[in-house]
């Protein structure tokens, strides 16, 4: 076999590895009754979308969980798909057509949809290809689309069921209207921002009197639809006017003055113009006082025929004209600058108009309740659990969901109206005749459903529901949903109540919530700021593995994170380290008959130590992954790989590898190979490409790492006490290194070590390693180091007292100062321990192990203190 390239170059193998996984069908979900299923539904990206850092993080987290579970032996399904994104897509297509000078009305519904499907075929796959670059191991053969036949059937079924139970109704209510997209929006699709505006103060004359009532408005044009002025019932300033009639200026309509608690007497003038058709609060006031609702605006934001002379004007032009006219009539009192919250369309940013309109709604109260209960009863668990509160907060304050959209791209509302008898019929299959009167003169509702209506069904629509398909039975309910906290109201919530309603089961057991990926300065990445970083560009330069690692290391669940190229570099450096460590092992294994496993290997202390560390790491990483603590898992892996394995064990192994004892060399290589293989497997969910690539070079591998068993903790290999003893060797080596630095002794200068110790055997056995790593020429055991003279540096460790004669490098004064400082530190430790032990409550109430540890610690430091004191005495 070829040797590994000397440099880590992800571009050389990532695409090849991915293609091979695909070719071998590694991602395919299989219904296997012998296995436990594990299912994740990918949040379907919009077909208009381009991969951004948010996706990259979301996908990475899912892929880590999926690969981990796959290796643990579950039968995994990671269901991918895309969302038709009704409004977003239609908006894009309309924009494109605008460039060609065509409107969708000119084109007609059918032709428009033809274009939309073409558009979907052309661009809808782009994001899918981008997801592959990340290494996502989802079952692409099951790629779903919210408007494919399966999902569309589910939508029909769901609508039909709710309709039958009266949970979907059609009614005239105030809704959010986007005059630009010309459609209704749900409350969640409106984005509010503090905008600078004005307060216009208008005088409305009281009929048959010289008196006026002054109102303030931020939207003068809506006065055309005023049907009352309201004041607070207890407001003495206006009480004499309640019940009187006003003449609405410019319009001439007679409108009443009504008293209503809704009015805040402290705000503005304490008198409010009431426009029931164009404001949600006014709408309610209108209902209470039985006021007429006069809609004065057309769908495109122009004033309609109700606006008299202003009809046809755009809303803002009308505003200007009305202010002028009022001014002319001396009815304009003043204009004040005023900041207020204005709703904007989440798609096109146009200012939303609250408008009374006939739309379809889902009655939320009966759906919300079971969704709240399911989380309260822990049937679905949020990670981190604080997001459950946010979820409750949404569902407890929820209003009915406006689901109709005046769009063409989407699921058309399955309701038909009979032109003859007027009957309204909802049907799962298209109908051609009225079931009531048999008339064939029918027309289907023109509107489409909110895109989220179909997304809400995603966990089961993709599995074939309402049919009891084998995959539905096997893979549903799903195990974990991974998504950002910003999506809870749009999607998580709606999947929850939909899943419970339609399937009787919660759609997922766990919801893993992550935060936003921000830029280096902590700002949201956005198109308008131009601060977005393209994940594909990062992959191109650093590789997907580095990107993946950088998106999860040091990130706590649910928290936002800043993306910096420095983090990617760190991850790349780490992977490079793994690459080179692997290369080291493989180079040394060349031509050697490396043991296939640990059976029969005679372990050296260092071997037991690294195996012990490996076992601890396996346990920690597994526990962390099972709790979705991906950042912690990655951190444990990194420090094991870099510190324990590379910086210590590989260095320790060199004396055996470069020595003459062939059996020892074989044994060491066996351990190296075992640990490396385990490490690669542990790392595979995080860095799938490089681990698969390296795995391919391992001599004793079987199959591919993606299908390998995840390493398991083996208590027989824990070697706890042996590992602890070996820490003494490490401590010794570190101490010697530090001693050399303290006297500016060049690291390359070999020193003669004198040790006073009870653990002679430990240090003898590991002599080779100590000499190599501490930079020593010899180890000599002595009974009394003080006899070695003054030109000496000494250091006490837990297991030994070290003496290094360094001749003229030693400055007695400095050495005395160093030892004095060391003594102070030790005395501090003793004081701390004794303080604790003097506390009777601690001794009585703390766990015995802690108390014992404290005694041991005190004794250890007392011992060290004695030695340091002796040494100080000997050089003074």
Partner RNA sequence: GGGGGCAUAGCUCAGUUGGUUAGAGCGCACGCUUCACAUGCGUGAGGUCACAGGUUCAAGUCCUGUUGUCCCCACCA
Choose between 782 and 843: whose C-beta lies nearer to RNA.
843
C-beta separation of 83 from 494 below 8 A = no
The distance of closest approach from Cβ of residue 465 to RNA in the complex, given in angstroms and rounded to an integer, is: 30
Give the per-residue contact string, 634-673, with RNA (x = CB under 7 A; - = no): -x--xx--x---xx--xx--x---x---------------
User: Is residue 691 involved in binding RNA (CB under 7 A)?
Assistant: no
Q: Tell me 358's DSSP state.
A: E
The distance of closest approach from Cβ of residue 124 to RNA in the complex, given in angstroms and rounded to an integer, is: 28
The distance of closest approach from Cβ of residue 489 to RNA in the complex, given in angstroms and rounded to an integer, is: 7
Half-sphere exposure of 523 (CA within 13 A, CB side): 10
Choose between 488 and 708: whose C-beta lies nearer to RNA.
488
Pick the binder of RNA from 72, 281, 351, 757 (CB under 7 A). 281
Pick the binder of RNA from 853, 859, 866, 869 (CB under 7 A). 853
Choose between 13 and 465: whose C-beta lies nearer to RNA.
13
Pick the binder of RNA from 196, 528, 746, 758 (CB under 7 A). 746
State how far the Cα of 587 lies from the Cα of 676, in Å rounded to an integer: 13
Query: What is the spatial order of strands in the sheet that 478-484 belongs to?
Result: 75-79, 37-41, 478-484, 508-514, 381-383
Choose between 128 and 826: whose C-beta lies nearer to RNA.
826
The distance of closest approach from Cβ of residue 519 to RNA in the complex, given in angstroms and rounded to an integer, is: 10
Instruction: Select from 310-318, 554-562, 680-688, 755-763 the region that touches RNA (CB under 7 A).
Output: 554-562
3-state SS assignment for residue 424: strand
Task: Find the binding residues for RNA in span 777-816 (CB under 7 A).
Answer: none
C-beta separation of 648 from 610 below 8 A = yes
Task: Find the binding residues for RNA in span 127-186 (CB under 7 A).
Answer: none
Choose between 66 and 263: whose C-beta lies nearer to RNA.
263
3-state SS assignment for residue 282: helix
Task: Find the binding residues for RNA in span 321-350 (CB under 7 A).
Answer: 340-341
Pick the binder of RNA from 350, 427, 623, 862 (CB under 7 A). 623
User: Is residue 833 involved in binding RNA (CB under 7 A)?
Assistant: yes
Alpha-carbon dihedral angle through residues 387, 388, 394, 398, given to the nearest 10 degrees = 160
User: Is residue 284 involved in binding RNA (CB under 7 A)?
Assistant: no
The distance of closest approach from Cβ of residue 277 to RNA in the complex, given in angstroms and rounded to an integer, is: 13
Pick the binder of RNA from 846, 862, 863, 874 (CB under 7 A). 846
Task: Find the binding residues for RNA in span 403-462 (CB under 7 A).
Answer: none
Question: Can you read off the two tokens belonging to residue 407?
Answer: 């769009």
3-state secondary structure 822-833: HHHHHHHHHHHH
Pick the binder of RNA from 187, 327, 565, 870 (CB under 7 A). 187
User: Is residue 686 involved in binding RNA (CB under 7 A)?
Assistant: no
Half-sphere exposure of 556 (CA within 13 A, CB side): 3
The distance of closest approach from Cβ of residue 737 to RNA in the complex, given in angstroms and rounded to an integer, is: 4
User: Is residue 839 involved in binding RNA (CB under 7 A)?
Assistant: yes
Choose between 406 and 564: whose C-beta lies nearer to RNA.
564
Task: Find the binding residues for RNA in span 484-543 (CB under 7 A).
Answer: 486, 489, 522
Q: How far is CA 682 from the centre of its chain?
A: 22
Determine how β-strand 228-231 pairs with β-strand 254-259: parallel
The distance of closest approach from Cβ of residue 32 to RNA in the complex, given in angstroms and rounded to an integer, is: 32
User: Is residue 566 involved in binding RNA (CB under 7 A)?
Assistant: yes
Instruction: Kindly give the interhelix angle for 662-683 and 565-589, rounded to the nearest 10 degrees.
Output: 150
Backbone angles phi, psi at 31, to 5 degrees: -80, 110
Give the per-residue contact string, 260-279, with RNA (x = CB under 7 A; - = no): ---xxxxxxxxxxx-----x
Residues 6+ apart with CB under 8 A from 72: 709, 710
3-state SS assignment for residue 666: helix
In 3D, which of 399, 425, 490, 415 has the Cα closest to residue 448? 415
C-beta separation of 215 from 222 below 8 A = no
Give the per-residue contact string, 84-103, with RNA (x = CB under 7 A; - = no): --------------------
Residues 6+ apart with CB under 8 A from 558: 383, 384, 386, 387, 485, 513, 514, 515
The distance of closest approach from Cβ of residue 214 to RNA in the complex, given in angstroms and rounded to an integer, is: 10
Instruction: Select from 324-332, 413-421, 473-481, 619-627 the region that touches RNA (CB under 7 A).
Output: 619-627
C-beta separation of 417 from 465 below 8 A = no
Cα of first residue to Cα of last residue in the chain, in angstroms, is: 64
Choose between 531 and 559: whose C-beta lies nearer to RNA.
559
Task: Find the binding residues for RNA in span 4-63 (CB under 7 A).
Answer: 6-8
State how far the Cα of 535 lies from the Cα of 52, in Å rounded to an integer: 6
The distance of closest approach from Cβ of residue 644 to RNA in the complex, given in angstroms and rounded to an integer, is: 11
User: Is residue 632 involved in binding RNA (CB under 7 A)?
Assistant: yes
Residues 6+ apart with CB under 8 A from 466: 153, 154, 157, 502
Pick the binder of RNA from 287, 437, 738, 817 (CB under 7 A). 738
User: Is residue 870 involved in binding RNA (CB under 7 A)?
Assistant: no
The distance of closest approach from Cβ of residue 218 to RNA in the complex, given in angstroms and rounded to an integer, is: 4
C-beta separation of 288 from 189 below 8 A = no
The distance of closest approach from Cβ of residue 745 to RNA in the complex, given in angstroms and rounded to an integer, is: 9
User: Is residue 824 involved in binding RNA (CB under 7 A)?
Assistant: no
Peptide bond preceding 551: is omega within 30 degrees of 0, i.e. cis?
no
State how far the Cα of 401 lies from the Cα of 489, in Å rounded to an integer: 12
State how far the Cα of 742 lies from the Cα of 731, in Å rounded to an integer: 16
Half-sphere exposure of 532 (CA within 13 A, CB side): 14
The distance of closest approach from Cβ of residue 418 to RNA in the complex, given in angstroms and rounded to an integer, is: 37
User: Is residue 383 involved in binding RNA (CB under 7 A)?
Assistant: no
Question: Can you read off the two tokens belonging to residue 649?
Answer: 């064990």
User: Is residue 845 involved in binding RNA (CB under 7 A)?
Assistant: yes
Task: Find the binding residues for RNA in span 202-241 (CB under 7 A).
Answer: 215-219
State how far the Cα of 657 lies from the Cα of 843, in Å rounded to an integer: 49
In 3D, which of 495, 444, 509 has the Cα closest to residue 465? 495
Choose between 583 and 867: whose C-beta lies nearer to RNA.
583
Choose between 188 and 815: whose C-beta lies nearer to RNA.
188
3-state SS assignment for residue 608: helix
CB atoms within 10 A of CB 706: 21
The distance of closest approach from Cβ of residue 131 to RNA in the complex, given in angstroms and rounded to an integer, is: 25
Instruction: Select from 85-93, 258-266, 310-318, 669-677 the region that touches RNA (CB under 7 A).
Output: 258-266
State how far the Cα of 389 lies from the Cα of 394, in Å rounded to an integer: 9
CB atoms within 10 A of CB 860: 16
Instruction: Select from 204-212, 590-598, 669-677, 827-835 the region that touches RNA (CB under 7 A).
Output: 827-835
Choose between 209 and 393: whose C-beta lies nearer to RNA.
393
Per-position b or e across 575-596, b if 16+ CB within 10 A of its CB: bbbbbbbbbbbbebbeebebbe
User: Is residue 768 involved in binding RNA (CB under 7 A)?
Assistant: no
The distance of closest approach from Cβ of residue 346 to RNA in the complex, given in angstroms and rounded to an integer, is: 9
Task: Find the binding residues for RNA in span 393-412 (CB under 7 A).
Answer: 393, 397
Q: How many residues bind RNA (CB under 7 A)?
A: 95
Choose between 279 and 607: whose C-beta lies nearer to RNA.
279
Choose between 58 and 279: whose C-beta lies nearer to RNA.
279
In degrees, to the nearest 5, what angle opens at C-alpha 50 toward C-alphas 49 and 55? 90
State how far the Cα of 384 lies from the Cα of 742, in Å rounded to an integer: 47
Choose between 479 and 629: whose C-beta lies nearer to RNA.
629
User: Is residue 381 involved in binding RNA (CB under 7 A)?
Assistant: no
Choose between 284 and 306: whose C-beta lies nearer to RNA.
284
């Amino acid at each position: 076999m070829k040797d590994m390239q000397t440099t880590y170059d992800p571009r050389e193998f990532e695409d090849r590895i991915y293609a091979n996984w695909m070719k071998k069908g590694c991602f395919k979900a299989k219904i296997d009754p012998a296995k436990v299923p594990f299912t994740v539904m990918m949040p379907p990206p919009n077909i208009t979308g381009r991969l951004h850092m948010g996706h990259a993080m979301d996908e990475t987290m899912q892929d880590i969980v999926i690969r981990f579970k796959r290796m643990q032996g579950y039968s995994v399904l990671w269901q991918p798909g895309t969302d038709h994104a009704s409004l977003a897509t239609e908006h894009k297509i309309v924009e494109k057509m605008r460039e060609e000078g065509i409107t969708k009305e000119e084109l007609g519904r059918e032709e428009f949809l033809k274009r939309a499907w073409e558009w979907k075929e052309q661009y809808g796959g782009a994001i899918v290809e981008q997801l592959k670059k990340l290494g996502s191991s989802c079952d692409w053969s099951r790629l779903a689309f919210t408007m494919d036949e399966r999902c569309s059937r589910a939508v029909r079924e769901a609508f039909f069921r709710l309709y039958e139970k009266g949970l979907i109704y059609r009614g005239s209510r105030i809704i959010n209207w986007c005059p630009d997209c010309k459609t209704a929006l749900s409350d969640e699709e409106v984005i509010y921002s503090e905008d600078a505006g004005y307060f216009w103060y208008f005088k409305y004359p009281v009929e048959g009197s010289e008196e006026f009532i002054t109102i303030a408005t931020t939207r003068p044009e809506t006065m055309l639809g005023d049907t009352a002025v309201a004041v607070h019932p207890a407001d003495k300033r206006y009480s004499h006017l309640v019940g009187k009639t006003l003449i609405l200026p410019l319009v001439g309509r007679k409108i009443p003055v009504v008293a209503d608690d809704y009015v805040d007497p402290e705000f503005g003038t304490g008198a409010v113009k009431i426009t029931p058709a164009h404001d949600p609060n006014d709408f309610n006031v209108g209902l209470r006082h039985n006021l007429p609702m006069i809609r004065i605006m057309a769908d495109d934001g122009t004033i309609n025929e109700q606006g008299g002379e202003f009809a046809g004007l755009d809303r803002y032009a009308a505003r200007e004209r009305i202010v002028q006219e009022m001014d002319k009539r001396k009815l304009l009192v003043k204009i004040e600058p005023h900041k207020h919250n204005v709703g904007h369309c989440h798609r096109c940013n146009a200012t939303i108009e609250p408008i009374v309109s006939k739309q379809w709604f889902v009655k939320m109260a009966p759906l919300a309740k079971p969704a709240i209960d399911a989380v309260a009863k822990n049937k679905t668990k949020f990670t981190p659990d604080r997001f459950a509160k946010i979820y409750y907060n949404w569902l407890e304050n929820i209003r009915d969901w406006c689901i109709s959209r005046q769009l063409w791209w989407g699921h058309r509302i399955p309701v038909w109206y009979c032109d003859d008898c007027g009957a309204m019929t909802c049907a799962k299959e298209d109908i051609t005749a009225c079931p009531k009167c048999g008339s064939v003169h029918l027309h289907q509702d023109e509107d489409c459903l909110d895109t989220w209506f179909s997304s809400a069904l995603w966990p089961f629509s993709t599995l074939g529901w309402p049919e009891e398909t084998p995959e539905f039975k096997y893979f549903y309910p799903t195990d974990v949903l991974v998504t950002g906290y910003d999506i809870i109201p749009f999607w998580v919530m709606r999947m929850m109540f939909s899943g419970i309603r339609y399937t009787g089961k919660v759609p997922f057991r766990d919801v893993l919530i992550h935060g936003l990926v921000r830029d280096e300065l902590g700002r949201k990445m956005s198109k308008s700021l131009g601060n977005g970083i393209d994940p594909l560009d990062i992959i191109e330069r650093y590789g997907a593995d580095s990107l993946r690692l950088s998106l999860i290391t040091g990130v706590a669940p649910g928290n936002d994170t800043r993306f910096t190229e420095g983090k990617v570099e760190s991850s790349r450096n780490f992977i490079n380290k793994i690459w080179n460590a692997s290369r080291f092992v493989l180079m040394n294994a060349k031509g050697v008959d490396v043991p296939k496993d640990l059976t029969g290997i005679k372990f050296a202390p260092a071997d037991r130590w690294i195996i012990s560390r490996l076992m601890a790491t396996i346990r920690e990483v597994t526990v962390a992954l099972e709790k979705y603590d991906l950042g912690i898992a990655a951190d444990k892996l990194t420090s094991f790989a870099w510190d324990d394995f590379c910086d210590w064990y590989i260095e320790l192994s060199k004396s055996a590898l470069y020595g003459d004892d062939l059996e020892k060399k074989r044994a060491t290589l066996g351990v190296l190979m075992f640990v490396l293989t385990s490490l690669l497997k542990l790392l595979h969910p995080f860095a799938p490409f490089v681990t698969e690539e390296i795995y391919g070079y391992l001599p004793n591998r079987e199959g591919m790492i993606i299908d390998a068993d995840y390493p398991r903790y083996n208590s027989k290999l824990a070697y706890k006490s042996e590992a602890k003893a070996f820490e003494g060797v490490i401590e010794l080596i570190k101490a010697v290194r530090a001693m050399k630095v303290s006297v500016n002794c060049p690291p390359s200068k070999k020193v003669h070590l004198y040790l006073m110790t009870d653990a002679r055997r430990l240090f003898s056995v590991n002599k080779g390693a100590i000499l190599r790593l501490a930079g020593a020429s010899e180890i000599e055991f002595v009974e009394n180091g003080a006899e070695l003279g003054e030109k000496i540096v000494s250091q006490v460790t837990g297991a030994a007292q070290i003496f290094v004669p360094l001749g003229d490098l030693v400055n007695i004064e400095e050495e005395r100062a160093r030892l004095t400082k060391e003594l102070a530190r030790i005395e501090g430790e003793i004081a701390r321990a004794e303080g604790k032990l003097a506390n009777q409550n601690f001794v009585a109430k703390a766990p015995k192990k802690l108390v014992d540890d404290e005694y041991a610690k005190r004794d250890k430091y007392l011992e060290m203190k004695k030695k340091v004191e002796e040494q100080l005495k000997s050089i003074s």
